[in-house]
Chain A
Amino acid sequence: MVSPNTPETPGSASPSTGGPRSIQDVVIRLAGNSQDGIQSVGGFLARLAGRSDQDVMTYMTIPSTISGGPSIFQVRMGTGDILSAGDRADMLVAFYQHSYDAHIGSLRPGGVLVYDSDHVKPAAEDHRFTNVAVPITSATVEAVGGTSKDKGKNIFVLGLIARIFDLDVAKLSALIKERFGGKNEDIVRNAMLAFDAGYAWPQNNLRDLFYRFEAIDQATSAHGRPQITLDGNSAIAYGLIAAGVRYGAGYPITPWSSIMEILRTELPKYGGIFVQCEDEIASVSTALGFSYTGQLAITGSSGPGLSLKMEALGWATMAEMPLIVVNVQRGGPSTGMPTNVEQSDLMQAIYGSHGDTPRVVLAPKNVEDCFYISIEAARIAREYSTPVIILTDQGLSSRIEAFDEPDLARLLVDPKADLSERPVDFKPYPLDRPTRHAPAGSKIASGKYPTVTGLEHDELGHPTGSPKLHQQMTIKRREKLKQLAATLPAPELTGDSAGEVLLVTWGSSWGPGREALTRVRKVGVKAGHMHLRHLHPLPNGLEQTFARYHKVIVAELNDEGPYGYGQLATMLRARHAMPNILSVCKTDGLTFKVSELVAGIAKHIESTELDATVGVARHSALAKS
């Protein structure tokens, strides 16, 4: 999105200054049908931005229909930090009338509408936008010729965008060739014909609709490492590989499937195995079997599949078996909104299953964090011999972002199982030490081999009905989480360290949360933003931070329930018993817009009598910002 403080923005009415106008960032929404390949245009733009050291953030909706159907891809690219996909688009490319009808509302007034004049008739009386008619279909057919019909429209549009925003043509053509190369020569040739035609079109038909991204400040962009561009699910898959995870099992479900697809393809190269099982129960069971051989394993799913894994997760807690479970949250319950985002599995992740089942729950804040949190999850699972759930969401799963290439040489974990002989006094379930299983295959010096078990047991793994032991073992399993909590870093806190409002977010709401904070502070509200990655156990000492603000507003993508609080807010209220913890919740299947968070904060502040300095005027300003 063009920053409000950028002097000239795409589509602004200011007269042409001759050369291209300078911008900081731009939000482009492509709306068409999924078979038109708009995802791949978005992908090209994101990758290009990554290669140019620009920040990118994308937002994609995939139709839940089997093939085809309306689809969008939104890419925000620019210089400087890009934190969210942008509330509103600066440029909308509409391929069809239905695309125009459904998405014209997402274009900000003053924005640029590019539409396929072969298919779209924009409302004549609507003068809010700069309308640019481009015969996308016929121009593509003319350029490519032959029998390919309008195939290549997407690449034509890519050329068009490349010219308007003065993108690096050499890098883009290289990307196109990489993508289509290896296939039939004609495909590359046709793609380049379409690209060139699109690139030439503005030159001949547009007067002054040209922009250039502000030069990148080398001091801030010189991270020393090249940028890579990938989606959240891939970041998790590769993060797990970096963490030395070599075995796993799963069953397909949107939006988790791509993680298992990558692992199934990649792990054999590393000597590992990923099994596609008959269902989620078999998947978690097989993964636990892998872990039992001394190889920390991964299983994963999305909401309904996580429910199926719950009984085995209870076993994993009781047997203290390390395991990583990835849950890519989607709209629920049941089949719900399978291609939309929600954060409504938090309670399931923490408290699902039967009995007291302490387990660790982590949530990544962006695509980059999907990579790092996977490594952290593996470390915790091994160190505490416990199941760890990575709670990501649909918003992150398909979003493409650019970030610094990780220092793999430093991060890579050696996956070797420890099959060394265990000493005479080996106990699988010591009360005074963390459990370190002797994997099947390892010798035990005493000649007494352990049984891993879901029955309550003594230190040697023998079943017990002893009330005292059950109490002691329950405490042991719980204490692991408290020990972990004591090691957790203080959560990220930005903005004012005390004031009227503390906005608390988790998961994919990190970026919008940060931007909302900027806006809120801009109108003079003293506010902070805290983002939680460790959801269970929570880091210690949150109450001290909470006490420094009049209101703690927890924003999350789930329902406020009968008592008016979202799932994390409910937990925080239970943990800290602080009445100033409040909720901003929504369940429309979309990630938070910055404006929605700002409005949510404004609503809560206006309802307060706490601070006499909070004036009405300022809140109206808030609501408008």
Chain B
Amino acid sequence: MTKKALTADHPTWCPGCGDFAVLACFYRVLEKLQYPHEKIVTFAGIGCSSRFPYFVNTHGGHFIHGRALPFAAGISLGNDDLHVFVFGGDGDGFSIGGNHLVHTARKNVRLTYVIMDNSVYGLTKKQTSPTSPVGFKSKTDPTGAIDQPINPMRTLVNSGATFVARSHATQVNHMTDMMLRAAKHDGFSVVEILSECVEFFEGAFDAAVPRKGGAWALIEEKKHDGTPEDASRHDVSDPVAAFKLASEPWPGRFGVYYENKERKTKNALERDLITKAKERTKNASDLALLQATFAKLR
């Protein structure tokens, strides 16, 4: 499958919006993965970033604000053959959809979630978002935001997401790498991508852009190679270490914070329930099952 086959409507984003780079990376990721075209689903809630599915030629949908994850859980559980990708913004994911994020993570539903965090409400034109820093001047906080922002990495690790990574829309290769690993992860995988809204929060993530004088700090993952330098590397299977890493001062580090390859997905657990139920009922046909139930009601 080529980029051409994957391209749909021309994006309606403002010129310079960080989301363009995320879209370009997604095409690259799909080109690398070569999934059957009809088995890819691109889904989203509401926001500038959530317009994503219109720009990708796959099965997909544009749902309501904040609820794309539970919808996508239905897709993933309803047909295990599908590769489900959900895209959305920081308001969509951490504010109105915050509880769904926690519960999709806790259940470890097999799907990949890409949060395009611009630390502002873009579509509704510059209100404070749950990741806006204290002091950010928006239309709802003209004198500067006063509420403490959410720490996405800590929230995700705490909730039980089994793959948690962070990237930056100016780092195309890194972003592609993170999305690719997320897609290959068997479980609920999340990549938060700092993606600048040039319209309403220009320069929000310059602190991590070397070109703008910032520091691009990568997470060095433990290689388990027995070398002395390995001791100081990050163990991605350690949630406490991930939590600590996520508590470093802004702009923090980029890469994989946490990865749990052991925990079963909800998809697998539900499959187990089905297998066990079918064993108990000796694979009886639907009709035989229902007739047996009704015979007991006589």
A residues in contact with B290, CB < 8 Å: 238, 241-242, 408, 412
- Option from A270, A319, A451, A463 in Cβ contact (under 8 Å) with B289: A270
B residues in contact with A294, CB < 8 Å: 78-79
B residues in contact with A447, CB < 8 Å: 5, 37, 57
Q: Which of A150-158, A197-205, A226-234 is the interface stretch?
A: A226-234
Complex Cα distance, B56 from A448, in Å, reads 10
Of all chain B residues, which has the CB nearest A463?
A: B54
Contacts of B73-121 to chain A: CB distance below 8 A = 73-79, 81-82, 99-100, 102-103
User: Does A253 count as interface, using CB distance less than 8 angstroms?
Assistant: no
Contact call A452/B61, Cβ cutoff below 8 A: yes
B residues in contact with A451, CB < 8 Å: 8, 53-54, 60-62
A451 to chain B, nearest CB (A): 5
Q: Chain B 26-63 against A: per-residue CB contact (8 Å), 1 yes, 0 no?
A: 00000000000111010000000000011001111111
User: Does A288 count as interface, using CB distance less than 8 angstroms?
Assistant: yes
User: A273-B77, A311-B64 are known contacts. Are A278 and B99 too (CB-CB below 8 A)?
Assistant: yes
Of all chain A residues, which has the CB nearest B67?
A: A285
Q: Which of B148-156, B171-179, B273-281 is the interface stretch?
A: B273-281
Complex Cα distance, B141 from A288, in Å, reads 36
- Option from B72, B73, B278 in Cβ contact (under 8 Å) with A271: B278
User: A315-B63, A462-B54 are known contacts. Are A268 and B287 too (CB-CB below 8 A)?
Assistant: no
Complex Cα distance, B278 from A438, in Å, reads 29
Range, interface on chain B: 35 or more
Contact call A312/B64, Cβ cutoff below 8 A: yes
Contact call B297/A228, Cβ cutoff below 8 A: yes
User: Does B293 count as interface, using CB distance less than 8 angstroms?
Assistant: yes
User: Does B252 count as interface, using CB distance less than 8 angstroms?
Assistant: no
User: Does B71 count as interface, using CB distance less than 8 angstroms?
Assistant: yes
A residues in contact with B58, CB < 8 Å: 449
User: Does B250 count as interface, using CB distance less than 8 angstroms?
Assistant: no
Complex Cα distance, B87 from A364, in Å, reads 41
Contact call B39/A441, Cβ cutoff below 8 A: yes
Of all chain B residues, which has the CB nearest A321?
A: B61
Contact call A293/B74, Cβ cutoff below 8 A: yes
Complex Cα distance, B73 from A289, in Å, reads 7
B residues in contact with A273, CB < 8 Å: 77-78, 270, 273-274
- Option from A266, A286, A311 in Cβ contact (under 8 Å) with B71: A286
Please report the total number of A residues contacting B with Cβ < 8 Å: 68
A residues in contact with B59, CB < 8 Å: 438, 440-442, 449-450
B13 to chain A, nearest CB (A): 14
- Option from B62, B79, B286, B291 in Cβ contact (under 8 Å) with A453: B62
Contact call A286/B39, Cβ cutoff below 8 A: no
User: A51-B298, A409-B287 are known contacts. Are A440 and B67 too (CB-CB below 8 A)?
Assistant: no
User: Does B144 count as interface, using CB distance less than 8 angstroms?
Assistant: no
User: Does B70 count as interface, using CB distance less than 8 angstroms?
Assistant: yes
Contact call B37/A285, Cβ cutoff below 8 A: no
User: A277-B70, A278-B100 are known contacts. Are A441 and B82 too (CB-CB below 8 A)?
Assistant: yes
Contact call B73/A228, Cβ cutoff below 8 A: no
User: Does A279 count as interface, using CB distance less than 8 angstroms?
Assistant: yes
Complex Cα distance, B277 from A290, in Å, reads 21
- Option from B39, B78, B293 in Cβ contact (under 8 Å) with A292: B78
Contact call A286/B73, Cβ cutoff below 8 A: yes
Contacts of B256-298 to chain A: CB distance below 8 A = 270, 273-274, 276-278, 280-281, 284, 286-287, 289-291, 293-294, 297-298
A371 to chain B, nearest CB (A): 10
- Option from B5, B8, B64, B294 in Cβ contact (under 8 Å) with A405: B294
- Option from B53, B54, B278 in Cβ contact (under 8 Å) with A269: B278
Complex Cα distance, B46 from A455, in Å, reads 10
B residues in contact with A283, CB < 8 Å: 70
User: Does A275 count as interface, using CB distance less than 8 angstroms?
Assistant: yes
Complex Cα distance, B64 from A450, in Å, reads 17
- Option from B60, B278, B289 in Cβ contact (under 8 Å) with A449: B60
- Option from A227, A238, A311 in Cβ contact (under 8 Å) with B298: A227
Contact call A292/B38, Cβ cutoff below 8 A: no
- Option from A270, A281, A293, A463 in Cβ contact (under 8 Å) with B78: A293
A residues in contact with B57, CB < 8 Å: 447-449
User: Does B248 count as interface, using CB distance less than 8 angstroms?
Assistant: no
A residues in contact with B64, CB < 8 Å: 285, 311-312, 314-315, 454
Complex Cα distance, B270 from A272, in Å, reads 9
B residues in contact with A408, CB < 8 Å: 287, 290-291, 294
Q: Chain A 254-276 against B: per-residue CB contact (8 Å), 1 yes, 0 no?
A: 00000000000010111111010
User: Does A443 count as interface, using CB distance less than 8 angstroms?
Assistant: yes
B164 to chain A, nearest CB (A): 20
User: Does B229 count as interface, using CB distance less than 8 angstroms?
Assistant: no
Contacts of A394-442 to chain B: CB distance below 8 A = 405-406, 408-409, 412, 415, 417, 438-442
- Option from B79, B103, B276, B284 in Cβ contact (under 8 Å) with A278: B103
User: Does B225 count as interface, using CB distance less than 8 angstroms?
Assistant: no
B residues in contact with A442, CB < 8 Å: 38, 59
Q: Which of B8, B59, B284 has the most CB of A within 10 A?
A: B59
B residues in contact with A216, CB < 8 Å: none
Complex Cα distance, B294 from A409, in Å, reads 12
A450 to chain B, nearest CB (A): 7
B residues in contact with A406, CB < 8 Å: 294
B277 to chain A, nearest CB (A): 4
B20 to chain A, nearest CB (A): 18
Contacts of A308-323 to chain B: CB distance below 8 A = 311-312, 314-315, 319
Of all chain A residues, which has the CB nearest B266?
A: A275
Contact call A312/B67, Cβ cutoff below 8 A: yes
A48 to chain B, nearest CB (A): 11
User: Does A297 count as interface, using CB distance less than 8 angstroms?
Assistant: yes
Q: Which of A275, A312, A417, A463 has the most CB of B within 10 A?
A: A275
Contact call A290/B294, Cβ cutoff below 8 A: no
A residues in contact with B79, CB < 8 Å: 293-294, 417, 439-441
User: Does A164 count as interface, using CB distance less than 8 angstroms?
Assistant: no
Of all chain A residues, which has the CB nearest B287?
A: A412
Q: Chain A 514-553 against B: per-residue CB contact (8 Å), 1 yes, 0 no?
A: 0000000000000000000000000000000000000000
User: Does A249 count as interface, using CB distance less than 8 angstroms?
Assistant: yes
B residues in contact with A498, CB < 8 Å: none
Complex Cα distance, B37 from A277, in Å, reads 30
User: A238-B290, A412-B290, A462-B9 are known contacts. Are A289 and B53 too (CB-CB below 8 A)?
Assistant: no
Contact call A449/B38, Cβ cutoff below 8 A: yes
Contact call B74/A443, Cβ cutoff below 8 A: no
Contact call B298/A226, Cβ cutoff below 8 A: yes
Contact call A268/B61, Cβ cutoff below 8 A: no
A residues in contact with B53, CB < 8 Å: 451
Q: Which of B37, B61, B76, B77 has the most CB of A within 10 A?
A: B61
Of all chain B residues, which has the CB nearest A453?
A: B62
Complex Cα distance, B60 from A314, in Å, reads 18
User: Does A247 count as interface, using CB distance less than 8 angstroms?
Assistant: yes
Of all chain A residues, which has the CB nearest B286?
A: A270
- Option from B8, B74, B289 in Cβ contact (under 8 Å) with A285: B74
Of all chain A residues, which has the CB nearest B280?
A: A269
User: A285-B71, A293-B75, A440-B59 are known contacts. Are A271 and B54 too (CB-CB below 8 A)?
Assistant: no
Complex Cα distance, B79 from A452, in Å, reads 17
- Which 3 pairs, one residue from A and one from B, show the smallest C-beta to C-beta distance? A289-B74, A293-B78, A285-B70
Could you list 18 further interchain pairs (A-B, Cβ under 8 angstroms) beyond the known A315-B64, A454-B64? A230-B297, A241-B286, A247-B78, A266-B293, A269-B278, A269-B281, A273-B273, A281-B67, A292-B61, A312-B64, A415-B286, A441-B38, A441-B59, A441-B79, A443-B37, A449-B8, A451-B60, A452-B61
Q: Please list 18 pairs of residues, one from A and one from B, whose beta carbons are closer than 8 Å in the complex, sorted by A's number.
A: A268-B278, A269-B280, A269-B284, A281-B67, A285-B100, A286-B73, A287-B74, A288-B63, A289-B77, A290-B77, A292-B74, A314-B64, A405-B298, A409-B287, A412-B286, A440-B38, A441-B79, A447-B37
